[in-house]
Structure 1
């Protein structure tokens, strides 16, 4: 029987590559996006797609109903990939910005997962794969809101994995490092909406650092990998009889995972400040 996976955040980058990669391996892929125009584009490319907005409980509920209608309730795997970033110094991030990013990166993810678990329990199998980040292991400057959501996702996923150990449902974390996606460009509207950098005590630092990173093309990151590197880990996570609890993807993630375990905090802070 054809295996079915639901993937969130498929408009570009990691989710887009995962949708095509799993489809090429014979999976039935439900490739969801927030915007109807992206759904139309994916449909034209041969993917099965529908709208799923992780910021909207109503959209999440409707998305699960669409899943049930299309598959009869069968879902072999859920890949929670959708997320965004809101760059800025922590002291300049208003509460509304944190609420907005947590709604998508954690609360919506949790809502969708809770709605899918009963389907997996009923069928007697399933994989839940959450896309974390190297920034779920260690924080770096300007990324506070995103780091906070990924640290929270790591903890929530760890507990879910422990609690699901007495079921046939496997819970897995993917932890990418630098991947060639549009997350930087896609973060600009959130930065412009929420961060009053011109009135920040760090205005000089914004001009010297973050604004250049956001608005100017930078040199290629020598550690950066294509989204296909994440897809390879995802394939192992959903197809292996014994998936790992964590998949560290890219050299920086592997190094930071080790550093987090062995370095004292001052040394880890020094290392993170270089990032």
Structure 2
């Protein structure tokens, strides 16, 4: 039976992926940052759920040690944990940007490093990096998140070359709009880290950005349920040689196409309207 470690399973994509893989016969080790979410996972029947905050190296080490003690192998890792920090680039402090990277990039990288040590020793393994359509194109007021996802792209693109010719595979998922608590969590970070009243964008924040983040209804075009990503992870797990990249949602396909064919100036004007 193949096993997999998944980060960020409290809700949304991580949780749905854990359920989908478990229901299809995989041994799932789901993790969450908060203990209460770990208990919720156990209540759903995930007996191997455990606490893992990707910004804490010891948590990662213990989680992987836990798997190796039980199974003496690790087949795959899905680096799903992450969040979005809204706000114009000039309103994002260095400390806030560091915090964004601690989870989305450095935490992901530490999980990857520890998994790779095992994969190199056993001679196989799959790393699934959860990027975004915003790792392909950039949208205004999402600069910190854009930058973190572009960083993931750079690391994954490089690693694919470095494992070429082995049975270790690096796959990147570029997810577009998907139903989750992403917006709710982004609102918390926006309120906590952005000085709305001391910004060139005060009016835009109050009349547009904050209103959108506070809206319970997701009217984003091409929005899909979390199962859309879970099915891709399932496809990767089944594949002997998974693809290096998977697009999820029409938005990702469309914007990825525009990135390839349009000039930078024209693409900027198009994206600025989104």
Matched ranges for 1:89-108 at <5 A: 89-108=88-107
1:189: how far off? 2.0
Give the root-mean-square deviation of aligned CA atoms. Answer: 1.2
**Deviation of residue 95 (structure 1)?**
0.6
**1:25 equivalenced with 2:54 (yes/no):** no
Q: Where do residues 222-237 of structure 1 align in structure 2 (5 Å cutoff)?
A: 222-237=221-236
3-state DSSP of counterpart to 1:32? strand
Detail structure 1 runs of 4+ shifted over 3 Å in the superposition.
Answer: none
Aligned-partner Cα distance in 2 for 1:271–1:240: 36
Q: TM-score, normalised by structure 2?
A: 0.97
Partner residue in 2 for 1:147: 146
Tell me what 2:5 maps to. 6
In the alignment, which residue of structure 2 is the partner of 1:126? 125
Contiguous gaps of at least 5 residues in structure 2: none
- In the TM superposition, residue 154 of structure 1 has moved relative to its aligned partner by 0.5
- What is the Cα deviation at residue 218 of structure 1? 4.3
- Which residue matches 2:34? 35
Q: Which residue of 2 aligns with 1:173?
A: 172
How many residues end up aligned between the 2 structures? Answer: 273
- 1:37: Cα distance to partner? 0.4
Taking the aligned partners of 2:240 and 2:62, their CA distance within structure 1 comes to: 31
CA distance in 2, matches of 1:170, 1:252: 26
Gaps of 5+ in 1: none
The alpha-carbon deviation at position 150 of structure 1 amounts to 0.3
Residue 197 (structure 2) aligns with: 198
For residue 56 of structure 2, what is the aligned residue in structure 1? Answer: 56
Q: Deviations over 1:193-224 (max 9, x none)?
A: 21111111211111121110112334522310
Return the TM-score normalized by structure 1. Answer: 0.96
Where do residues 189-268 of structure 1 align in structure 2 (5 Å cutoff)?
Answer: 189-218=188-217, 220-268=219-267
Q: Show CA shifts across 1:152-198 (max 9, x none).
A: 10111000111011321010001110001110001122112211111
Query: Match of 1:61, SS?
Result: helix
Q: Give me the whole-angstrom Cα distance separating, in 1, the residues matched to 2:218 and 2:163.
A: 43
Please give the alpha-carbon distance, in whole angstroms, between the structure 2 residues aligned to 1:39 and 1:58. 17
